[in-house]
Amino acid sequence: MKNVGSKGRPSGGVTKKVSLTLPEDLWKHVDEEANGNRSQYLRNLINRDMWSGEWSNHACLGYAILGGKRAGLTEEQINKLLLAIKSEFDEKTVDEAKKFYL
């Protein structure tokens, strides 16, 4: 139960304190990427690691289907798009694909 008038951020799960030793250059990288929120940055890294591979590919294809339907594409056009995306999974890394979006 949440206490009425309680302060602080809402619970995102179980908090466990850890100590992490990294070389100075890695801490610099973490701080640059974290934009002032190391905890969120590290949670994002763990989340990305847990949900990579098949799940990400399936999610991407699901988004493509949803977007295609919203854009009014026919089922044939959506299937053609899905085949093209699937072939790119084998040809490009995630980082290479990001460059086309960013």
Q: Is the separation of the CB atoms in 45 and 22 below 8 Å?
A: no
pLDDT at position 33 is: 92
Q: How far is it, in rounded angstroms, from Cα 20 to Cα 27?
A: 10
Q: Is the separation of the CB atoms in 64 and 85 below 8 Å?
A: yes
Q: Is the separation of the CB atoms in 82 and 67 below 8 Å?
A: no
What are the residue boundaries of the structural domains of the chain, listed by start? 22-51, 54-101
For the chain, 102 residues long, give each residue's pLDDT as a single digit of tens. Answer: 555 555 666 667 888 899 999 999 999 999 999 999 999 999 888 887 776 666 678 889 999 999 999 999 999 999 999 999 999 988 888 888 888 987
pLDDT at position 2 is: 52
